[in-house]
Every structure is written in C-alpha cells, then in structure tokens.
Amino acid sequence: MRYSPSLLKSSPKNESVALYARYRSDAAVAQYCDLHYGPDKFGVPNFPQKMAQLSAAELAGKPQRKALDLGCAVGRSSFELATCFDQVTGVDFSARFIDIAQRLKQRGKLCYQLSEEGDLISDQQVFLADLGLAEAATRVSFLQGNAQCLEPHFCHYDLILAANLIDRLSTPGKFLANIHRRLVIDGLLVIASPYDWLERFTTPKQWLGGRFRAGLPVASLDGLKKKLAKHFVMLGEPRDVEFVVRETARTFRHSISQVTLWRRVR
C-alpha cells in the first residue's frame, strides 16, 4: 500500500492539487469503490456480489436473458450478474458513479484513494480480471438515469435488482407501484434495504414505513408488501444481508439490509 500525503491544504494554483482535492473531498466515491471492489471486512462477504449471487440463484433453471441493476453505483453487482445473464444494464442517478463503472468496464482497472487517518490517503487499484469478471464485463452497459422515471424501452427484464435504493428515492411508493411494467411475467424483483429513511432523500410522508400512521407504527416491510401486492408474490421469508462501509482505516459502518424477493404474477 502506498500512502500519499493529502494535498488539500496546498496551493490551489497547482493542477494536480486540484485533482487530489476533488478526489479527497468525495469520500462517498472512495467508500463505494471499496465496498464494491475492496477486501471483505470482519468476515462480512462482499455485499453487491452477494446480492447478485442470491438473485441469480433464485432464477436458476429459468431464463436469464436481461437484468437491470437500479442504483448500481460503481457497478459490482452488474458485473457479477453478467456472469450468468446475457445482458445487464446498470443505471445510477450519479454521473460520477456511472463514469467510474464505465471506465472500469473499458479499461479493466480501477484506481481510487482511501482515507486512512487525518490527511493520509492510500492509493488502491483493482482489476476486473483478478475478480474473474473481465469476460462478463462485455455483456454490461452502464447508463446515467433516474430509476423513478425510466424511459419506456427499459422493459422485459427477467430480473430487476434494487439494492439499497428505495430509501434513497424521493417517491419509493410510486417507484414500487410501477416497477412491474419493467419485468416479464414471472420475472424477479429483488429489493434490499436497511430502511435508513432520511429526510434529505425522502420526505417522511413518502417513507414506506418507520413511522406512525393513524397513531399506529408501520414497518417498512409492511409498506413494501402493500405497494407490491397487486402484481407480485413474495418468495420465501425476508433475509438479512450485512454490509460494512469503511470510512477510515479504523472507522467502519456496519449495516444490515433486509432482502425480499418478489415474483411478478400479474
């Protein structure tokens, strides 16, 4: 591991300083690169890989033509899904994330900087080939877009994965009420969420649960079931899948997503 001194406090006249400052300030980018492509932490398996694996396992023996990864961030689940699907599309609202995923697909290599402690950062690089994903990458495309208002041609998917997305949407209920239009009948919808509702993303009125309605507490899972009941049946029981976000060398955030699988029946 090579440590680089952070140049944030240096003269902004120097172009490389500006570049470093831009990267350093965007901790979220580094955290997602590490969550998707960095080493496992505390024995918790790679979350986007696990989401792709459990989605594909549910579709074993069924058509695996087209998959849509909504809120794909820097793309790990999309690449993983392409190890079994003929065609995978990763969509994210963030042009920055999509740019990183696209460059990784094109070059097979990703470089990013992790925060270590204080002003210290470390350079990291990962290769798709080392992850066994170089060939699968040829079947993936990444697009910047809004999962809540996709163009009509995003349709006929065998699988839609929405991993840790719904609690980042402004209108999650509307998203769920319309998502069946994008799937084939019998297609699989996979939703994962820690139900981490935050007002800066979703006004409380739009939360699927995690609040009181008519004086009674409503759980997000119940809100989810209500929104999907018309077109889907839930497969099996909800399950918990953990993920760990590395903030610095010594600070980590451990979350548990609730994963539910839904088959489109109408």
Residues contributing to the site for ligand SAM (CB under 6 A):
35, 47-48, 70-73, 91-94, 97, 146-148, 163-165, 168-169
Comparing CB distances to ligand SAM, the nearer of 55 and 164 is 164
**Shortest spacing between CB 151 and ligand SAM, in angstroms:** 13
Nearer to ligand SAM, 71 or 173 (CB): 71
Q: List the structure tokens of 111.
A: 């470089």
At 52 the three-state DSSP class reads helix
Locus of tokens 């209108």:
171
How far CA 186 is from CA of 53, 59, 128, 265, in Å, comes to 19, 10, 32, 6
Question: Among residues 7 and 35, whose Cβ is nearest to ligand SAM?
Answer: 35
Amino acid at 212: F
In the bound state, the residue with its beta carbon closest to ligand SAM is: 71
Taking the chain, what is the end-to-end CA distance rounded to the nearest angstrom?
52
Q: How far is the CB of 24 from ligand SAM (least distance, A)?
A: 20
Burial class of 194 by CB neighbour count within 10 A (0 to 12, 13 to 18, 19+): middle
Do 259 and 238 touch, CB atoms closer than 8 A? Answer: yes
To ligand SAM, the closest distance from the beta carbon of 257 in angstroms equals 8
Residue 143 Cβ, how far from ligand SAM at the closest point, in Å? 10
Q: Which residues lie across from 217 on neighbouring strands?
A: 212
Closest approach, Cβ 52 to ligand SAM, in A, equals 10
How many Cα atoms sit within 13 Å of 127 on the Cβ side? 3
Which one, 126 or 169, has the nearer CB to ligand SAM?
A: 169
Residue placing its CB nearer to ligand SAM in the complex, 33 or 137:
33
